[in-house]
């Protein structure tokens, strides 16, 4: 019985670690997007540069 309990605990731990590895990047991007700290700020000169680059990419 203890061997089966240890095996199921090990499998559960592996599932937990893999789930955390897959969810953590999504959570980080979501958190950064909510705070607006991801990427260049879209105001002032940054906005002008962003719009200019987007227009050049479209033509």
Tell me which residue has tokens 């680059």: 53
Q: What is the mean pLDDT of each run of 10 residues along the chain (59 residues)?
A: 89 96 88 64 73 85
| Assessment of whether the complete model's pTM goes beyond 0.75 | no
pLDDT of residue 42: 63
Q: What is the rounded distance in angstroms from the CA atom of residue 32 to the CA atom of residue 54?
A: 22
pLDDT of residue 6: 92
pLDDT of residue 51: 84
């Amino acid at each position: 019985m203890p061997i089966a309990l240890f095996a199921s605990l090990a499998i559960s731990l592996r599932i937990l670690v893999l789930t955390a590895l897959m969810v953590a990047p999504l959570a980080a991007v979501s958190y950064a997007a909510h705070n607006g700290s991801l990427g260049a700020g879209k105001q002032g000169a940054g906005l002008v540069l962003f719009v200019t680059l987007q227009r050049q990419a479209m033509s």
